[in-house]
């Protein structure tokens, strides 16, 4: 049963399900010319391929001087300094190590448009740890504690991100379209990734676990794709609210309190997800939400298994929740307006 808490500052509201906090927003396109025959063809200028600058950073071996950064043997010391030297197309390559306030970082780290922050992609950021947080004034949520703030067309790849502040967020996406891949947001005070405004990120092949609130939260008019991630051992694996419409595909959502909590008037599309072993419910639909769990033409193909209480718990006021082409236990589905096919 949902127990609404009192609103907190700046129109930020929290709903509590058994002690787990879900932060949500309530408002929420052949000509032929014979005259040229016999003439020598004009020589077109050769196009120079786009050059991607690589800047190297090493928190133990580097120095933040203008002459450094362009080689592995002379890296910068901090991500913050490398960002001041970056431009669209730059790749900031991180050596193994910890990047924190103690090593000279200043948070949040605002990644410029078109810049890639890259660590150890093969092992989802193992050994490349960004830890810390700083004040960010969100246009939609007010003051927040944030580690990474990606801009448009940025990429975050192969890093571990931790914000130990009690209300801290690892990666905050504010109306931008970054790619977040092969990374590990973990042990963040509130959530691993927060998407708000008109954010349309691609969140792909990450391991998101042991975060204090939610694995991924989406609100306002957020969209984008959440694909091929493992989301586990946290409060709500996915908390989708406001008017969000993300595509959620082929994720493993397991061992959380609730797998997914869908609220307000959000309309996520859920396909091919494995939602299992959550200690309460696999999916909870509340408010006027309408999760798409399959249609007459496209099956949902989600698998619900071993969720302790219900696979699907529907209390939404929206029209009938249709559940088409999914694997689940009919006896673990509750709600007056559910149609199983």
Q: Domain with 325 in it: what CATH number?
A: 2.160.20.10
pLDDT at residue 42 in the model: 43
Residue 116 belongs to a domain: no
Beta pairing class for 214-218 and 236-240: parallel
The domain total for the chain is 1
| E strand residue ranges, 133-167 | 134-138, 142-150, 155-157, 160-162
pLDDT at 294 over 90: yes
* Cα gap 52→103, rounded to integer Å: 27
- Cα dihedral 234, 240, 241, 245 in deg (nearest 10): 170
Assigned domain for 231 exists: yes
Residue 203 lies in a domain: yes
Q: What is the pLDDT at residue 308?
A: 97
CB neighbours (10 Å) of residue 290? 19
Query: Mean pLDDT of all residues in the chain?
Result: 88
How many helices (H) and strands (E) would you count in the chain? 1, 34
Specify the range with the lowest mean pLDDT, choosing from 55-69, 77-91, 279-293, 308-322. Answer: 308-322
Residue 7 lies in a domain: no
| pLDDT value at residue 204 | 98
Higher pLDDT, 140 or 39: 140
CA 245 to chain centre: 14
**Pairwise pLDDT comparison (341 vs 214), residue with the higher score:** 214
121: left (phi over 0), alpha (psi -120 to 50) or beta: alpha
What is the span of the domain harbouring residue 312?
Answer: 12-26+130-154+161-340
Is 259 inside any structural domain?
yes
Q: What is the pLDDT of residues 137-155, one digit of tens each?
A: 999 999 999 999 999 999 9
Does residue 31 belong to any structural domain of this protein? Answer: no
Instruction: Work out the average pLDDT over 25-34.
Output: 37
Residue at 275 is within a domain: yes
Does some domain include residue 309? yes
């Amino acid at each position: 049963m949902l127990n609404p808490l009192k609103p907190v500052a700046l129109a930020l509201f929290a709903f509590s399900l058994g002690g787990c906090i879900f932060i949500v927003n309530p408002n929420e396109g052949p000509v032929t010319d014979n005259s040229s025959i016999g003439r020598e063809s004009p020589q077109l200028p050769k196009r120079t391929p786009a050059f991607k600058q690589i800047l190297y950073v090493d928190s133990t071996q580097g120095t933040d001087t203008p002459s450094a950064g362009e080689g592995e043997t002379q890296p910068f010391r901090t991500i913050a300094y490398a960002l001041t030297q970056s431009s669209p197309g730059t790749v900031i390559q991180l050596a193994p190590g910890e990047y924190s306030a103690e090593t000279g970082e200043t948070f949040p780290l605002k990644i410029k448009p078109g810049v890639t922050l890259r660590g150890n992609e093969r092992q989802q950021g193992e050994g490349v740890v960004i830890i810390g947080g700083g004040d960010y004034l969100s246009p939609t949520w007010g003051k927040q504690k944030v580690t990474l703030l990606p801009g448009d067309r940025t990429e975050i790849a192969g890093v571990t991100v931790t914000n130990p502040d009690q209300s801290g967020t690892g990666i905050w996406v504010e109306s931008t379209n970054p790619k977040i891949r092969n990374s590990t947001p973990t042990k963040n005070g509130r959530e691993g990734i927060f998407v708000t405004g008109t954010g349309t990120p691609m969140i792909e092949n990450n391991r998101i676990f042991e975060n204090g609130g939610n694995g991924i939260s989406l609100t306002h008019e957020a969209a984008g794709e959440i694909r091929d991630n493992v989301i586990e051992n946290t409060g709500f694996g996915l908390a989708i609210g406001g008017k969000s419409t993300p595509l959620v595909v082929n994720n493993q959502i397991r061992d959380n309190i609730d797998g997914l909590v869908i609220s307000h008037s959000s309309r996520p599309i859920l396909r091919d997800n494995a939602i299992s072993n959550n200690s309460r419910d696999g999916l909870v639909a509340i408010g006027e939400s309408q999760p798409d769990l399959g249609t007459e033409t496209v099956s949902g193909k989600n698998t619900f298994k071993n969720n302790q209480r219900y696979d699907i718990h529907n209390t939404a006021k929206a029209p009938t929740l249709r559940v088409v082409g999914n694997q689940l236990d009919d006896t673990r589905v509750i709600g007056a307006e559910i149609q199983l096919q």
